[in-house]
Structure 1
């Protein structure tokens, strides 16, 4: 099966997608990936959703809330950042904004005078470094020799935290949504705002001894101050307690809101 993920070739998303499919195609945005899966162009999409240092990828959260896809699997991979350049004489560091942020302490300590440029992906930054000897890139060490001209690895493991890792979600058509798995993701839109609202939503899970691993609010886009909630919890919908918790939340928001269950799935840890 062919999967689609963030391009160009050489991104961390590309490496994560290699654990899912033998053939990988690319799009320039998470929204385009989700739209391609919804349209039936690809059977699977792989999107980054959360980094252990920089937190959630908001474009992914918004795309998953808006389009009819299912989450089928979670892939967690460690992120190894290296500084790549033609030589040590450079004045600009180019990479994805998340990579620049994940290496902030290193850059401020070792290259405080260098300018930083955010580009569409780590692979785009590597391409810039190949084109311009005054530019360094942040990317996987293997990126240095994956194309010509080759780059030098000036420093490895430059991320601010050695535990740096990223969660990727494997998405597929909504018809493939499963109740099997150890974890479930859902989106809740209460269409209301009153004291104790969030507490009521959380109690639906706490009362059934279900651990919430992530709760995050995002603007609904309907009006200022109106939010929806992304919820991950450690239970599969095949479990009676999980199904009951979701039903309880649906009852709470039934008047004007909605609950969209993205699916239950298992987690795989891979070294990319």
Structure 2
């Protein structure tokens, strides 16, 4: 099976994608990955959804709300950041914006003079460091070699740093089996108590919400789409009933069930 994820080779997304794909291809944006899966070009796509330090990856949330895809698995992997450079005389630290944020305290304390440069992926920052002796990258320590050395390991601000990824498939592969489910709700309304109304169907059925987040709909200022993850599968009648209630509340908008799935922990 061929999977597509954020490239180039060596990103944390690449490490997560190896758990589901025999062959891995790359794209430079999350939206391009989701589009490639929705169109049937790829069997699977792997995108980062949430980091334990920096929170949700907003491009991922917006993309799964826009395209018809299925979430078929959740992959959780620890993030071990290392500072990689040709030598310790670098002037710039280049990495993905999330990685730079996850190492903010370390960089401020140990390299306050270095300029920070956000690039498309951690692997791209490592390649910049490999090409330019004035640049250091942040990435997995296994990306060292070929002229790069590990100047410091485990530089993330929290030792528990981890990222959850969604494994995506075409919409036709949505499954009701699994211990978690993800939904996107667009009520197309705004009134006091709306969010409470959206949550009550789950509380009434003793369904635990593992994540609730709002994103701008793009239609108008103050108009929101809600992303909801619950610790229950759609095969359960209580989940079906809760979603039916949601659809009544959002009768002027829509409810999209992304799928039910299990979680896999990948440690490398």
So what's the TM-score if we normalise by structure 1? 0.98
Query: What is the alpha-carbon distance in structure 2 between the residues aligned to residue 151 and residue 34 of structure 1?
Result: 33
Match of 1:171 in 2: 168
The one-character-per-residue Cα deviations of 1:173-195 (angstroms, maximum 9, x if unpaired) are: 00000000000000000000111
The offset of 1:247, in angstroms, is 0.5
Q: Which aligned segments of 4 or more residues in structure 1 are displaced greater than 2 angstroms?
A: none
Deviation of residue 258 (structure 1)? 0.6
Cα separation, 2, equivalents of 1:181 and 1:9: 30
- Residue equivalent to 2:122: 122
Partner of 2:12: 12
Q: How far does the alpha carbon of each residue in 1:181-228 deviate from its partner, in whole angstroms, 9 at most, with x for none?
A: 000000000000111111011111000000000000000111111001
Distance 2:86 2:30 in 1: 31
In structure 1, distance between residues paired with 2:227 and 2:77: 22
Deviation at 1:22, TM superposition (A): 1.2
Match of 2:43 in 1: 43
Distance between the aligned counterparts of 1:184 and 1:253, measured in 2? 18
CA shift digits 1:28-62 (9 cap, x unpaired): 10110011111111100000000000000000000
Which residues of structure 1 form unaligned runs of 5+? none
Alignment of 1:45-124 (within 5 A): 45-124=45-124
Counting only pairs closer than 5 Å after superposition, residues 155-234 of structure 1 correspond to structure 2 as 155-234=152-231
Question: In structure 1, what is the Cα distance between the partners aligned to 2:250 and 2:170?
Answer: 26
C-alpha distance in 1 between matches for 2:140 and 2:266: 15
Q: Aligned-pair distance for 1:253?
A: 1.2
Could you say which residue in structure 2 is the equivalent of 1:265?
261
Q: Secondary structure at 1:209's aligned position in 2?
A: coil
Residue 235, structure 1, aligned to residue 232, structure 2: yes
Q: 1:244 aligns with which of 213, 237, 241?
A: 241
CA distance, structure 2, for counterparts of residue 179 and residue 235 of structure 1:
10
Q: Matched residues in 2 for 1:228 and 1:129: separation?
A: 39
Partners of 1:233 and 1:38 lie apart in 2 by 23
What are the Cα deviations for residues 67-118 of structure 1, in whole angstroms up to 9, with x where unaligned? 0100000000000000000001111111000000000000000001111100
Q: How far, CA to CA, are the matches of 1:82 and 1:235 in structure 2? A: 37
For normalisation by structure 2, the TM-score amounts to: 0.99
RMSD over aligned Cα atoms: 0.6
Q: Secondary structure at the match of 1:138?
A: strand
**1:90 & 1:7 partners in 2: Cα distance?**
24
